Amino acid sequence: MNIKIRLKTILLPLLISAVFLSGGGFYFSSSVPRAEAAAKTKWQKLLEKNKIPEELWEKYKPKVTRGEYLMVTKKTVSQAAKKSKATKWQKLLEKNGVPESLWAKYKPKVSRGEYKKVKKALKKLGQISSGSLGPEMKVGLFKLSEGNSKRIEVRSESGLEIKDKSGTVLKSVAPNVKNRIKADWANRDFSIKGRIEGDPDTYVDSGNFLTIEALGGGVIEIVDCKHQDSNEKKSDPNGCYASGSVEYNKFRGKLELSFNEDGVPWAISVLPMEQYTWGTGEIGNGLDNDYLKLFSVIFRTYAFYHSEKRTKHKGENFFLTDTSSDQIYKGYVIEERIPDMKKATQETRGKTVTYKGKTALTPYCSWTDGKTRDMNGYQYLKSVKDHPDGKKAGLDPGENGNHMYGLSANGARGWVKDGKSYEWVLKYYYTGVKIEGAY
């Protein structure tokens, strides 16, 4: 008998038996899925690896080609790009946690007018007030370094809570009672003194991120803050500003203690944008209200610009420092000492300088040689003739920090004395801009 026929005769009954024993269906060994996997092209594997939805490429199976892969990925990128083209106004709605159901109908391009409609609707619902203090601002105050013994001591008239990153309260501090926290550089850890009840002198490891909050919206005082002038703060920030007997060591909002990417621990003031603007310390009292208004808009715009970009202090947990490298910020004491500036800020609440719908960069200097300068890449920073009060003869660009870009502070003061409004002055020095409410 033919060998092939004999094999068929022997194997066929065995195969039929296997079918019945397996419940009536054919059984395939694990080598079959492996064979299917092996049949996948490189391009299908890439689609799966990048988690591209299968419904976009299922029709090309079982052999996804390079051309088909490119078509699918191009379509996916295009869809993602459409989603990412959120306007400034949509980003503000998202940033402020406004439910998407209230503005989804305006997508994909939420306009300023539509943003205002949503705000108006929210006011009617009682979900926001006309007195919004704006988005969160984070200001680097100083390092916890050798200059301050790597520690900070705080208190508040209203009492304090010290929390970890999850918001869990690690220690409650009674009103007007001091509490000290140390930074451990080697282990990237903070320890809180007296965290164990009944043991007020022992430091307890408490993680690499802490927030200190005054109860009831109170003010936090840094009791042991070392006194530093502007130059010291810029070169080695490890303390607070001081002028004679006046200490600028009180802050609204929260204090954050955290380690930057380079492992350096910082004390960071975290507060709403408006309260940050109240505490900026580059303008004095007794000046024209419109002059204070224009600077309140500039300070807010500069802060808003960098809170959006977040590139100037990459790798650090704050948007700006409190020095003249960014903007001088002295906190709550400035509100008490320069109430005129706070009043002007409240009168311009939320207003920023914009150019073509985006927050503008608003540089300024004290003097010019008679004209400002063009800044490459910024269409609104054009050279304009300065007011005579802003001119200092023989001044070279860059001398004493006078870069001559944007607004001239002394020139602006001259224009205000001549009767020009703060909006006119801003639009004079920043060409083609608008003054708009950011929130």
pLDDT band at 1 (very low <50, low <70, confident <90, very high): very low
pLDDT band at 90 (very low <50, low <70, confident <90, very high): confident
- What is the pLDDT, as a whole number, of residue 307? 92
Task: Give me the chain's average pLDDT, please.
Answer: 86
Q: What is the mean pLDDT of residues 39-51?
A: 81
Is residue 253's pLDDT more than 90?
yes
Q: Would you kindly state where each structural domain of the chain is located, as residue ranges?
A: 1-31, 40-84, 89-125, 135-343, 350-439
Is residue 113's pLDDT more than 50?
yes
Candidate from 92-101, 103-112, 215-224 with smallest mean pLDDT: 92-101
Spatial separation of the C-alpha atoms in residues 196 and 244, rounded to whole Å: 38
Spatial separation of the C-alpha atoms in residues 434 and 437, rounded to whole Å: 10
% of the chain residues with pLDDT over 70: 85
pLDDT band at 124 (very low <50, low <70, confident <90, very high): low
Is residue 427's pLDDT more than 80?
yes
Burial category of 330 from C-beta neighbours within 10 Å (exposed 0-12, middle 13-18, buried 19 and up): buried
- What is the pLDDT, as a whole number, of residue 29? 39
Candidate from 117-126, 286-295, 351-360 with smallest mean pLDDT: 117-126
The more confidently predicted of residues 261 and 113 is 261
Q: What is the mean pLDDT of residues 140-146?
A: 97
**Chain segment 326-338, per-residue pLDDT in tens:** 999 999 999 999 9
Is residue 87's pLDDT more than 90?
no
The more confidently predicted of residues 384 and 9 is 384
The more confidently predicted of residues 179 and 48 is 179
- What is the pLDDT, as a whole number, of residue 146? 94
- What is the pLDDT, as a whole number, of residue 89? 82
User: Three-state SS across the chain?
Assistant: CCHHHHHHHHHHHHHHHHHHHCCCCCCCCCHHHHHHHHHCCHHHHHHHHCCCCHHHCHHHCCCCCHHHHHHHHHHHHHHHHHHHCCCHHHHHHHHCCCCHHHCHHHCCCCCHHHHHHHHHHHHHHCCCCCCCCCCEEEEEEEECCHHHCCEEEEECCCCEEEECCCCCEEEEECCCCCEEEEEECCCCEEEEECCCCCCCCCEEECCCEEEEEEHHHCCEEECCCCEECHHHHHHCCCCEEEECCEECCEECCEEEEEECCCCCEEEEEEEEHHHHHHCECCCCCCCCHHHHHHHHHHHHHHHHHHHHHCCCCCCCCCCEECCCCCCCECCHHHHHHCHHHHHHHHHCCCEEEEECCEECCCCEECCECCECECCCCCCCCCCCECCHHHECCCCCCCHHHCCCECEEHHHHHHHHHCCCCHHHHHHHHCCCCEEEECC
Give 437's contacts (C-beta < 8 A, 6+ positions apart). 350, 351, 352
Q: What is the mean pLDDT of residues 271-295?
A: 93
Q: What is the mean pLDDT of residues 377-388?
A: 97
Most distant CA atoms of the chain, gap in Å? 120
The more confidently predicted of residues 90 and 337 is 337
**CA dist 74 to 43, 45, 52, 200, 215, Å?**
14, 17, 11, 63, 53
**Chain segment 64-80, per-residue pLDDT in tens:** 888 888 887 766 655 54
